[in-house]
Structure 1
Amino acid sequence: MSSPSSPTRGRPARLDQARTVQTALDLLNESGLDALTMRRLADAMGVQAGALYRYFATKQDLLTAMAERMVGGVADAAGPEGDGDWSERVARLARALRAALLAHRDGARVFAGTHATGPNTLGFADSLMGVLRAAGFGGAEAARALYAVANFTVGHTLEEQAALRPGDGGPTGAEALREAVAEGAYPHLAAALPVLSGTDFTAHFEFGLRLLLDGLRAARR
């Protein structure tokens, strides 16, 4: 007798690890992280909820696999050695990571809550470390620079997605900020409110990334 997740004659298996992760990403994009449950995923897969635990012992294990899938190919953004200044190659990696997380609803929340050690995540880290070490940074400096670039990129994207996500029938983060500043006595915030509540997140990201790279250049000198 076949189990809910095993193939029957002439039919493909309804459940495998790769398809489970892809279905979970589809549900994430459709309804967001808060609505993604193992039961809902099992329903979408057409299996019993218990069948999912064959591949993922916990929901956290599933989220880690999703995070790993999200960043596939990001490591390639650096290009081969000699393809641009080291700082530009680091910038390309940071931009590629941001783009990969933005490609999925709540992508940064998923990634920030995991500690993936798969080939995609480690490949990104190794690629960035390699660029920095080739530029003359020591091992410890390169490791800390890796954390700085990755944490800035993930943190920025986390805030970016949160700012654009409306609450339960309420305003977005940017709208709430405008209302709060308008109702209070915050002259300095009010003067810069168009920037603070603006949605040109690429400009915000590039400004922060430039500051980070300038700091790394100074440290390298």
Structure 2
Amino acid sequence: MLRDALLAHRDGARVFAGTHSTGAGILGFSDTFVGVLREAGFSDGDAARVLYTVANFTVGHTLEEQAAAAPENGGPAGVEKLRDAVTSGSDYPHLTRALPAFADMDFGRNFEFGLCLLIDGLKARR
């Protein structure tokens, strides 16, 4: 939901990042999110920290997603620049092997993977 809202606007994540919005929309979303976590057994403090963690991950990921698509950053051609930098020598063997994942422009899939990691960690902590 937050990611979709940020993606709906050019540079939406950049505009949102660093703000401390107190509008009804963000407060309503935050209240519902914290309420769900409290009902799941998280303490008030942990529920607030989970909100920060998920929101920061979402904004940061979306910021990178929008930056990667920006023409001034090379758009999809920026991936080729990364590929060339990593494979130009043998200095980065681990990055070279993982390059298909680093060059993956399926941001939805990458976002889902990160969100699943967070959820799995939260399940283990609860």
Return the TM-score normalized by structure 1: 0.53
Question: Secondary structure of 1:114's match?
Answer: coil
1:195 aligns with 2:98: no
Q: Measure, in 2, the Cα distance between the counterparts of 1:122 and 1:175.
A: 41
What corresponds to 1:17 in structure 2? none
Contact 2:68-2:74 at 8 Å conserved across structures: no
Percent of residue pairs identical: 65
Structure 1: segments with no counterpart, 5+ residues: 1-95
- Flag the structure with larger Rg: 1
Return the TM-score normalized by structure 2: 0.91
Q: Measure, in 2, the Cα distance between the counterparts of 1:110 and 1:218.
A: 34
Q: Judging changes above 3 Å, is the alpha-carbon distance between structure 1 residues 158 and 190 closer, same or farther for their aligned structure 2 residues?
A: same
Give, as a single letter, the amino acid of the residue that structure 1 aligns with 2:51.
L
Report 1:196-215 matches (<5 A).
Answer: 196-215=102-121
Instruction: Output one character per residue of 1:3-62: Cα deviation in whole Å (capped at 9) or x when no partner.
Output: xxxxxxxxxxxxxxxxxxxxxxxxxxxxxxxxxxxxxxxxxxxxxxxxxxxxxxxxxxxx
Greater helix fraction, Structure 1 or Structure 2: 2
* Cα deviation, residue 198, structure 1: 1.4
What corresponds to 2:41 in structure 1? 136
Structure 2: segments with no counterpart, 5+ residues: none
Give, as a single letter, the amino acid of the residue that structure 1 aligns with 2:17.
A
Q: Which has the higher contact order (CA 8 A, sep 6+)?
A: 2
Q: Measure, in 2, the Cα distance between the counterparts of 1:180 and 1:166.
A: 19
Give, as a single letter, the amino acid of the residue that structure 2 aligns with 1:152.
F
Paired residues in the alignment total: 123
* Cα deviation, residue 176, structure 1: 2.4
Give, as a single letter, the amino acid of the residue that structure 1 aligns with 2:98.
A
